[in-house]
Every structure is written in C-alpha cells, then in structure tokens.
Amino acid sequence: MDCSEPRLIVQGLFKDPVDFQQILDMMSNGVIVLDRDRRVVAVNNAFEVLTGFLREEARGVRCAHITRNSVCNHRCPALSSPDSGQKRCHTGDIISKDRVKIPVRITLSPVYSRNGEHHGYLEIIEDLRVNLSWDWERVHHERFGHLVGNSPEIQKVFHMLPLISQSDSSVLITGETGTGKDLVAEAVHRSSERARGPFVKINCGALPDALLESELFGHVRGAFTGATESKTGWARQADNGTLFLAEVGDLNYNLQTKLLSFLDDKVVYPLGCSEGVKVNVRIIAATLRNLEQMVQQNTFRSDLFFRLNVIRLNLSPLREREGDILLLLDHFLRSFSQLFRKNIDGYSDEALRILMDFRYPGNVRELRNIVEYATNVCQGNKVLPAHLPLYVREGNPAHPPETLPWGVPSVAPLNISASDKSIEMTWRDMEKKMILKALAQAKGKRAKAAEILGWGRSTLWRKIKDHGLDS
C-alpha cells in the first residue's frame, strides 16, 4: 500500500510533482493557506497542535473563526489592499480550541499567480510563549494554579523541575486525581530546550483502543473501514517537542508493546504502512495507577515500566500539603473574582472553617471547582456557608480516604466496606465494585456515576464494557 497520501501538489518546483502538505508539516511554526475570501485551504501539523483545531475542522472556515486573533476584531491585515504585495506582521493573542489565550506573532503575505493575479494568502503563526523568560517562582502562580503552595511537598516539586527540564530522559508523574500532573508535564516542557517545539497531550483512557492507536501513530488511507484519508498521528505531530501520555496505565497490553517499540527506536509506523518515520520526541507519562503492582499482576509490561520510570515525580495529595489549602483558597478566589468581575474580598469565618475542615478527595481540582461555584453564586463581598456546595456543608469523612499503594484513592464517597478492601482483592475487582457502587448511587445515570468517580464519561463507558457491565 502506498504510504503517502498527497493532498496538495506542487508542480514545476522539482522534476516530479511533490506533496505540498508534507512540506508544510515540516515547518515548526503554524502555517495557514487562505483563499481570496480568507477561507482556510490548508494548515500544517504545528497549527493543529497550537490551536487544537484539526485540518478537517478548519478547511473552508474563515480565518477569523479559527485563529480567533485579537487583531481580527480591529484591523484585519488581509483587508488591506493586497496590491501592494507587502507582507504584514503583527502581534496579538489567539484563542485555542480549549479557550487558552496564546500570545503569537502573525505574518501574512499575499499569494499571486505568475501573471500577477491575487489568489490568496499565506499566514505564519509563531508561538511567543517560548520567548518569555522562564522564571518558575514568578510564572507558576499565574499559569499553574494547581502548583501554588509553600508546603515542603510542593517546594520539592519546584526545586526538581529545573533539573528535570535540563535532560531529555523520560519522566513518569504519579499522584492522585486532581493533583496537577498535566500542569507539571507542561511546565517541564515549557522550561526545557524543547519549548519551541509542540507539546502534544493524548489521554490514553479517553479513547477506545482501536481509535487510540490511530490517534497516536496515525494511519494511511484505506488502512481500515472509514479511513478515507491519511492521518499523521500525535507522535509525529510532537516531533522536536514533547509527547505527554496521560493515564498511561489505561493502555491495553497490545498498545503497550507498540509503545515500547516506539520508545526503543523513536520510529512511527502508521496503521496500514510498513515504512517507518523517525521522530525526535521526549516522553512524559502520567498515571494515578500503581504501575508496579500492575507489573506484578501481569497487566502492565515490566520493560515499558522501566522505560518510562527513568525520572519519577510524585505529586502529594492536598491533605498532605500542610498550609497550602488556605493559600489555594485565596488564590482561586482572587482569580475567579477577577474573571467574573465581582468584588469578593474573602470568606466568612464559618465558611472558612468549613473549607479548611473539608478533606478534598478530588484534591486541588475539587478545591478549585468549589471556589468557582461559590464565586458564581456569591452576591456580596464575602463567601458565606450558603454559597458553598451542599455536599461540602453537610460534612466530611472523619479520616482521609483510604488509598491504595502509590496514592490511588479508593473513592471515599462510595463508602466501600471493609470487605471490599481485602488485601486479596485485585485492582480490577476493586475497580468493578467502585463502578457498581457509583452506578447504584447515581441510580443508573452514567454521567452522574462518572462525576462521582472523577472520571470522564468516555472513560467510564469504556471500563463498563471492559468489565462486562454494559448489559
């Protein structure tokens, strides 16, 4: 099978026609090709990674609706007469698909035919975040709220990050849900020499196994039913950057084998293609599972574990970060008050007592959500107990939630009985009981059960099928 899938052809440049899309994908900056009406004709891999919009989503859409650049609202450079033939360069912010504001420099050049007829534009987008000097103590407060803190546990993380960033070794980040594993991974990338390259995240637990392999390694047209065109894959899109594998413990055994092969030689083999493509990526993986225990149970490859576990970074749960709860409460209240344009200057004594006594099984993510809820409903200048979610006001477990080795929570709100926590019980048995109890508590509503477990809905549905509970 032909592993190349030309879409945009350039003739006359070389002896034979060449694939223009492949040329675009080799560029490290985001590139958009526009027609005369400023509709997207083509984008490259770097653009997809930067904005989160896939080329299939962007094609045919006006540029302003994809880049969502602040300049577009005031003075679109393309509206200036293209007859001058001059390129235009400006700086501003774009809004990614995930609603993240990214500072960029955009260079727009008109494109002409040989007879001088104007046909469209070539737009190059440079990510300016990599040009910002990285001062961890200064930057993390505004960009990485999960990592705000003065406790010894979080200070160890701050001290290790610059050292980790200087190497290219694989990193394994562990910790309970909501502790900020994703943010630490991005911080390692942003403070490393790979900061100018892409940071590509793929959630190993959010996609079905067959789709995950295609998303990770790509495929060629006709590789399987429905593959109407070739796909590059996230591993190739992360070339010269960092590939972040979130929830790597959810990979099935077959994909673990393919990932191990990729880590050994850094060669990507798209589905349906026997020709490999060499890439240069750094691997950062994260999980809330106990991979060492999974290795003993033969559910996770030992050789893959050793490959990933070169540098270990464990994030402590919030209940072990003494003194950080108050700091985080103040930090998020200031942030959300500014975001929602409210004049809230603190918490009442009773509200603060309730919040300080709460155990936060969902860690910093849960604390953040509680403060966001309170800021939304508060109409005065102080957060009162009535502004807190009902489950927070009703009380907390007397003790921190029981944890499995490596800090994996057993989901305290489900009230797992002592018999459920028998040492003979495997993680798979425990997981099945957790799902059943969550479904019972949610009266069969899967979305609610996923919320109780702290999982995404797609993750829950996949695990229900895996445990044979879908019937």
Q: Which two tokens stand for residue 403?
A: 């944890």
Residues of the chain with CATH 3.30.450.20: 9-131
Q: In 3-state terms, what secondary structure has residue 115?
A: coil
Q: Which two tokens stand for residue 66?
A: 């994809």
What CATH code would you report for 416-466?
Answer: 1.10.10
Residues 6+ apart with CB under 8 A from 233: 214, 215, 216, 217, 218, 219, 268, 270
Q: How many CB atoms lie within 10 A of CB 431?
A: 16
C-alpha 302/C-alpha 428 separation (Å) is 18
**Structure confidence by residue, pLDDT tens digits, 173-219:** 999 999 989 989 988 888 888 887 889 999 988 888 778 888 888 88
C-alpha 103/C-alpha 93 separation (Å) is 4
- Beta pairing, strands 88-95 & 40-43: unpaired
**Structure confidence by residue, pLDDT tens digits, 344-373:** 989 999 999 999 989 899 999 999 999 999
C-alpha 117/C-alpha 119 separation (Å) is 6
Q: In 3-state terms, what secondary structure has residue 118?
A: strand
Supply the DSSP symbol for 271: B
pTM over 0.75: no
Q: How far is CA 145 from CA 128, 333, 453, in A?
A: 21, 11, 23
Q: Which of 330, 327, 316, 312 is nearest to 363 (CA)?
A: 316
C-alpha 365/C-alpha 155 separation (Å) is 19
Residues of the chain with CATH 1.10.8.60: 321-393
Give the residue carrying structure tokens 């055994």: 253
Supply the DSSP symbol for 435: H
Give the pLDDT score at 309: 94
Domain with residues 136-315, CATH architecture: 3-Layer(aba) Sandwich (3.40)
Residues of the chain with CATH 1.10.10: 416-466
Backbone angles phi, psi at 40, to 5 degrees: -70, 125
Backbone angles phi, psi at 389, to 5 degrees: -55, 150
Four-residue CA torsion sign, 219, 273, 44, 61: negative
Residues of the chain falling short of pLDDT 70? 1-7, 70-75, 77-87, 130-147, 395-430, 454, 456, 471
Supply the DSSP symbol for 219: B
Give the pLDDT score at 75: 61
Spacing of C-alpha 107 from chain mean position: 28
Between the two ends of the chain, the Cα-to-Cα distance in Å is 40
Four-residue CA torsion sign, 171, 213, 44, 40: negative
Radius of gyration of the chain (CA): 25
Instruction: Give bridge partners of residue 285 from the DSSP assignment.
Output: 172, 245
C-alpha 168/C-alpha 282 separation (Å) is 6
Residues written for the chain: 471
Give the pLDDT score at 292: 93
Q: In 3-state terms, what secondary structure has residue 152?
A: helix
DSSP E strands in 182-319: the ranges are 199-203, 241-246, 267-268, 277-278, 281-287, 311-315
* CATH number 2.60.40.420 is the correct assignment for the domain at 321-393: no
Backbone angles phi, psi at 109, to 5 degrees: -125, 135
Please answer whether residues 38 and 121 qualify as being in contact, where contact means their C-beta atoms are separated by less than 8 angstroms. yes
Please answer whether residues 253 and 304 qualify as being in contact, where contact means their C-beta atoms are separated by less than 8 angstroms. no
H-run or E-run covering 370: helix 363-377
Spacing of C-alpha 205 from chain mean position: 12
Q: Give the CB-side neighbour count of residue 138, counting CA atoms within 13 A.
A: 5
What CATH code would you report for 9-131?
Answer: 3.30.450.20
Give the pLDDT score at 454: 65
Residues of the chain with CATH 3.40.50.300: 136-315
Give the pLDDT score at 448: 80
Quickly list DSSP for 321-362: STTHHHHHHHHHHHHHHHHTT----EE-HHHHHHHHH---TT
Instruction: Give bridge partners of residue 9 from the DSSP assignment.
Output: 19
Q: In 3-state terms, what secondary structure has residue 243?
A: strand
